[in-house]
Amino acid sequence: MDCEKIGKLIYSLRTERKLTQKKLAEYMNISDKAISKWERGLGCPDIALLPELSNIFGVNLENLLAGELDANDLVGGNMKKLNFYVCPSCGNILTGSNGAVISCCGKKLPALTLQEAEDTEKLTVGKIENEFFISTDHEMTKDHYITFVALLTGDSIMLRKQYPEWNIQTRIPYFGHGMLVWYCTKHGLFYQLI
């Protein structure tokens, strides 16, 4: 551990949140002298205090230990480049762009790999009034089902959560052509252009 780098990061995070050394010390039930020592690079926080520091500052524990926050580059957005993540433990559906580090249930999640659907895998898409009507005969059991269907356009996303043992018959407002994306619990993330 580089105490000097960690100290500079603690100082930066503390001042960003407009906390005094004394206030931070009170939150952690330690002396403000310990905070001062860390910020001057004369020592590092005890390992038992790192999770609490991480929570107070809202930063990843690994970044705190490294003494730096790696900011992603700002990129102009196209929602069609969005990354999807699904937690294997609880089923949370998360999205991120531009190299986001996503975690759930204590585990880092890899971005799902998007694959183009074959003709036999495609969802059925019709148009009713101003909505897309989406259906499929895909298996929908507790062990094998589609967890969500989303429509991505250049600047928007509309996501519909799906549940096992329910047939997929959902509507998504028509707000332009785009990419229909869905996630199958056994086969992964698919897309088709609509």
Domain ranges of the chain: 3-66, 79-193
Q: Is the pLDDT of residue 9 over 60?
A: yes
Q: Cα–chain-centroid distance for residue 105?
A: 12
CA dihedral 59, 65, 66, 68 (to 10 degrees): 30
Class of the CATH-defined domain 79-193: mainly beta
CATH number for 3-66: choose from 3.40.190.10, 1.20.58.1690, 1.10.260.40, 3.40.980.10. 1.10.260.40
Cα separation, 178 vs 192, in Å, equals 9
Whole-number pLDDT of residue 92: 92
Whole-number pLDDT of residue 160: 94
Whole-number pLDDT of residue 93: 94
Whole-number pLDDT of residue 82: 86
What are the b/e assignments for 37-63, b being 16+ CB within 10 Å? bbbebeebbeeebbeebbebbeeeeee
Whole-number pLDDT of residue 101: 81
Confidence bin at 76 (pLDDT 50/70/90)? low
131 HSE (CA, 13 A, CB side): 10
Cβ neighbours for 91, distance < 8 A, ≥ 6 positions apart: 147
pLDDT in tens, 136-194: 999 999 999 999 999 998 888 899 999 998 889 899 998 878 899 999 999 999 999 99
**Range scoring the smallest mean pLDDT among 6-10, 48-52, 63-67, 86-90:** 63-67
CA-based nearest residue to 70, from 25, 92, 48, 100: 100
**How confident is the model over 105-119, as a mean pLDDT?**
92
Whole-number pLDDT of residue 63: 79
Residue 44, classed as helix, strand or coil, is: coil
Contact 125, 194 (CB under 8 A): yes
Contact 69, 10 (CB under 8 A): no
Q: Is the pLDDT of residue 77 over 80?
A: no
CB atoms within 10 A of CB 128: 9
Whole-number pLDDT of residue 74: 47
